[in-house]
Amino acid sequence: MTSFFYQIPIWGVVLLFFVLVMIAIEIGYRAGHRTKEFWESAEAGGGNVVLSSMLLLLGLILALTFSASVGNHQSRQKAVITDANAIGKVFLLADLVAKPEDQKLKKALLEYARTQVITRSDALSSQKLQDLIQESTRAAAAIWQLTEEIVQEKEAGAFDVSLGLAVTDLFGSHRLRNWNVFYRLPGIVLAILVIIATASLAIGGFNAGISGRISRSRMTALALVLSGVMLLLVDIDHPVSGFIQVDQEVIQTLIDQIQQDLGQ
């Protein structure tokens, strides 16, 4: 279910949501209008109580979902910074490695850093992201292989321990970044949000049908507001392809620094 929401364009999700809530309003209104003779008013049978409860529940779900989305966004941004710090630490230690291994290690770091920049085209499909992560894993393995060669050339000392710890930290940040790339809000959460929103507006339309009056402009405005919130929720969970993107400038700056050091 998660892939359904995230494999189609953001505007497609929002448009689908808007159409669903507008249909729910119309169905609710027509159902209420046809059965209004059985009801004294919209308040009969606890209609307003049900509507108020549904809207309150909708507000709660929106708040919790938005909080989770913002938390995911912050986690992704933190993962980028952690990854950049890990690469930068190994890069600084590479200056203390004997030649020519220092240049080899820096080149391997450069190749790895390049795989950590996720472009909009990479985020278009899960397969492209999988390919990028596999490439990143191979680049990380090359760094570890070079580290083993450097350590095995002489008797291990304090510097070798520091270098080994820095590389293992890089692997840790690599795994964290990979997890953040694929993690999204569970599809069931968004599905429940859609169900509650459509049910709430259907009840609102039903109450309007019982009263025999409906302000379509107000109902449309409410649907647009809810669609805007849905846009924000889905967009913030698209770290690269949305309007609110994870800033990867720190890694790009590091790539430029390594290239300058290598004279590229």
Nearest Cα neighbor of 163 from 181, 144, 176 is: 144
Evaluate the omega torsion of the peptide bond into residue 100 and state whether it is cis, within 30 degrees of 0. Answer: yes
- Alpha-carbon span 235 to 245, nearest angstrom: 9
In 3D space, the residue among 49, 68, 56 whose CA is nearest the CA of residue 190 turns out to be 68
| Nearest residue to 233 (alpha-carbon basis) of 79, 23, 58 | 58
- Nearest-CA neighbor of 91 among 219, 259, 258, 260? 258
Tell me which of 10-14, 102-106, 165-169, 218-222 is least confident.
10-14
Predicted confidence (pLDDT) per residue in 58-115, tens digit: 888 888 888 888 888 888 889 999 999 999 999 999 888 878 888 999 999 999 999 8
The dihedral through the CA atoms of 94, 100, 101, 107 has a sign that is positive
Residues 204-230: what's their mean pLDDT?
A: 86
How far apart, in whole angstroms, are the C-alpha atoms of residue 171 and residue 86?
9
Q: Kindly list the distances between the CA atom of residue 207 and the CA atoms of 27, 29, 39, 73, 211, in Å, as whole numbers in the listed order.
A: 11, 7, 10, 39, 6
- Per the structure, the count of domains in the chain is 1
The structure's pTM equals 0.78
Evaluate if residue 124 carries a pLDDT over 60: no
Assess contact for 212 and 33: CB atoms under 8 A: yes
- Largest interatomic CA distance in the chain: 93
Q: What is the mean pLDDT of residues 26-31?
A: 89
Show the domain range for 43. Answer: 2-262
| Distance, CA of 93 to CA of 46 (rounded, Å) | 70
